[in-house]
Amino acid sequence: MGPLDGIRIIELAGLGPGPYGTMLLADLGADVLRIERPGDVFGLGRPEHELLARNRPSVTIDLKDPLGQAVMLDLVQEADALIEGYRPGVAERMGVGPDECLARNPRLCYARMTGWGQQGQLASEPGHDINYLAMTGVLDAIGPPDGPPSIPLNLIADFGGGGMLLAFGLTAALLHAGRMGEGQVVDVAMVDGAASMTTMMHGLAADGLWTWDRGANLLDGGCPFYAVYATSDAGYMAVGALEPQFFAELIDVLGVTFDVPSQYERSTWGHLRAVLASAFATKTRAEWIERFDGREACVTPVLNMEEAHGHFHHRDREMFVEIDGVVQPGPVPRFSATPASRPRPRAPASAQVLNEWGIPSDRIADLIEQSIVS
């Protein structure tokens, strides 16, 4: 089920952004076969809790063996797309690079998920989310002005700039292949995606509305009405009262007096921050939740991830689902005509799955006996 029903994708298993982008596609109905290499260990916990691998079967194929490479290319012939997350040149050395795969299937969309991209002086270097953020100016822009940059988990480059860009780019390539009958290589780089997310800030900077100083701007913690404040019980409330009508509601609910010509007068921000901090510190988080209920001030409690599971809004939308006892976010976005099905946990592929991908049963048995496939 889902809008991508009927699309067949091969995933060469990897870490983080590749599996996340593939998960998004599988959640929406794509028929994905996950290929793992012998001895590969992915994830940071138990395999059954590798949630990024949900909604698709996995099979181990020895791609160092010519027989394994031959199986892989036969699978490619049945696929609409392939996703790999190796460093540049690795897939080519295994005999399953773009040239070999597109020769077997000219309509194939071959997506390459890397940190630095396929070209450039850093292309072959290792890296992680923090490195890509550091090199694009993103990391320097996050955090307090009087301290080091803050690490925003690994959400921006890995999953936003990587996994989501992968899903978007591959979908665009599939649309082109459907219209024109030709495949292509999609070069997805986390460093590119992280940089792309700063487009708005570059525009604001050109207008003199954004500085490159950390913690000095409207959306980076420098603004007192777009900030986080502690409550009396060591909880936190998030304030996003950017527009005048929301700011007026904020001031009214807090019961504070702050009379200036404009909330955007930067010279008053230090005083306003102190006023707001003092007000929020007088009550518990629960009390502020009650007081802001129904008020259009763009003020919400700061929930931890476990608390988020039970929030009434998320329950209403069934945002979180429980699969085999593990709570996790459900498929997104939502579609009216082609809704996604309930996620399924990671599972090994059976001979039947490979058979459905065009591999004869007797050949599968031989490959299993020779430990090429497992």
> Could you give the dihedral angle defined by the CA atoms of residues 246, 250, 251 and 253, in that order, rounded to the nearest 10 degrees?
130
Token output for 13: 């298993």
- What pLDDT sits at residue 42? 59
Express each pLDDT in 81-104 by its tens digit. Answer: 999 999 999 999 999 999 999 999
- What pLDDT sits at residue 22? 98
Paired residues of 33 in beta bridges: 10
Catalytically active residues, by annotation: 128, 158
- What pLDDT sits at residue 43? 57
Measured CA to CA, the distance from residue 92 to residue 124 in angstroms comes to: 14
Residue whose token pair is 């793992």:
36
- What pLDDT sits at residue 44? 62
Measured CA to CA, the distance from residue 155 to residue 194 in angstroms comes to: 10
- What pLDDT sits at residue 48? 73
- What pLDDT sits at residue 315? 96
**Cα separations (Å) of 3 from 186, 256, 338?**
21, 50, 5
> Would residue 92 be called left, alpha or beta, if left means φ above 0 and alpha means ψ between -120 and 50 degrees?
alpha
- What pLDDT sits at residue 293? 97
Angle at 92 between CA 86 and CA 93, to 5 degrees: 95
- What pLDDT sits at residue 6? 96
- What pLDDT sits at residue 171? 98
Taking the alpha carbons of 190, 194, 195, 200 in that order, is the dihedral positive or negative?
positive
Residue % of the chain over a pLDDT of 90:
87
Domain boundary assignment for the chain: 8-196+321-369, 226-302
Express each pLDDT in 197-227 by its tens digit. Answer: 999 999 999 999 999 999 999 999 999 999 9
Instruction: List phi, psi (to 5°) of 85.
Output: -125, 30
Express each pLDDT in 50-69 by its tens digit. Answer: 899 999 999 999 999 999 99
- What pLDDT sits at residue 244? 94
CATH code of the region 226-302: 3.30.1540.10
3-state class (DSSP) for residue 10: strand
Express each pLDDT in 317-327 by its tens digit. Answer: 999 999 989 99
- What pLDDT sits at residue 41? 62
CATH superfamily, with its number, for domain 8-196+321-369:
Crotonobetainyl-coa:carnitine coa-transferase; domain 1 (3.40.50.10540)
- What pLDDT sits at residue 341? 86
pLDDT-flagged residues of the chain (< 70):
40-45
